[in-house]
Structure 1
């Protein structure tokens, strides 16, 4: 087994200098550090992680708290890309990741207890009920905590610009001529609040009066809830010319539900999603959506957590990641008002045949 003493002899320096270089101490010059790291790699040096943890008072282990209600786990269409970003950045900086849960074998415990048991240095939180008592306990602890798409005074946050996303999408639909726009929003979380705020702001700037029935409650990524939302919309006295769904999967299910009633997209109703995941590129016409930079969300969260660990200080900074409007083929100019009566009659006829 190659040791730091072997590297020191090969480089003609002290073992303490090698140790500092391997642990990225600032009092070793960049040139010396590069030479030592190169020689360590040539010799096939493998660091002793337990010894490294003792010498640095760190376990080099970041916890990831991720609970998905749909139980799709690491295959989740949106968060799988976020988590991949967390993993890649952590590995690049020499850290491992551990998933945090309420169970460890047969033992039940809080998230914080799990972190303490596993000697976690810091935690990245994504896709969870942030107001849950155990999550709040974790965020109030001494651990370095970074949350994705959640704002709190106690922790650092990495945010996708959800406000701007819905604002941009609404302005885009208005620019096409739409004024009867409905937003099917996901369950009540911080992200939802920001998107609704952007929706209202865009309407207000264009002089369009906001009414509560322009909002229809649903859930993110839930097929049945978004199909039900379409049914609710079609039962109303008037049919909107455009519908924005909470995410791309919901938008596609919404399109299928509309088509089952004989409604053409985008000829009768324009449809837009949010997220910019790959499935939106696979349907025809391509889904109009807001693309989030999922990989960067994860990488920035991981990097921020590591920076706090290495600086040995916590903060409540907020990093906002930009979004991009993707102009697909599911949105166009609104139908002629003269066609409203024909559309409503077509919907009634389709319902009677179901």
Structure 2
């Protein structure tokens, strides 16, 4: 991705996006998960290891808000991903024994531990932002305790489980390289070959994905951080014959919906897509508690950062300012 595509000039200052993405639209996207951003991300993001891991100044620094992105040359306004390297396409193979072994371990763990959405709820997983996007195909559910533990690539303790909204069941995992809650760089390879290491990790460098991760950290009471990228992340789809490590959900998922859903609901999985209104009241309240105070806590900081990232990129006549379309009070 060229410097011009990333929306910064050679001096690091923010320039006007050529793609006409509105603040209102990106706020809606920014309220979704890291994963939702990857669905519409450019798969040709930078594979540079050096700049991808840098972190912009935090809110505790004396730096003015307008310099929050100055040290992030790969950052983009639009949803975008960067890969750790080119091995996802050049080295990794869906048919490699280590890939199939990891996929089998993921599938076995999901079938035994998390066969239903209700099992995720019972184990303390909470829906991430993409769950609340209308007509989303799948969503990420995260368990904060697993994000903060010392494991990496442990199918029995996945940081995130990918939930199919049509079939009401877990369909894969997303590992997050954050042992003990800290970023791991470089991330581990899944296997080695004579052609190199298979290291199919990605990170989000677009504003929506970075926003979502920082919001997740803030909800856990961690220090505010406006990162140049998210931690390294790795999808493993339990049903995929192809693109096991791919960003998007497998097209041919098949099978009957999970019955029962694993929790009490008036919805019929045979006819209804999984949606926020189907969640148990207790989980809805838990989400309000986790996410509802973030806007109030960080609103001014996010407003300054957002204005910097989307300068001159508003819809004509949109004078609503800093809107919080993802507000959980509307659920």
More helix as a share of residues: 1
Mark yes or no: TM-score above 0.5: no
More strand as a share of residues: 1
Q: Which has the greater radius of gyration?
A: 1
Question: What TM-score results when the alignment is normalised by the length of structure 2?
Answer: 0.21
Question: What TM-score results when the alignment is normalised by the length of structure 1?
Answer: 0.20
- Structure possessing the higher relative contact order (Cα contacts under 8 Å, 6 or more residues apart): 2
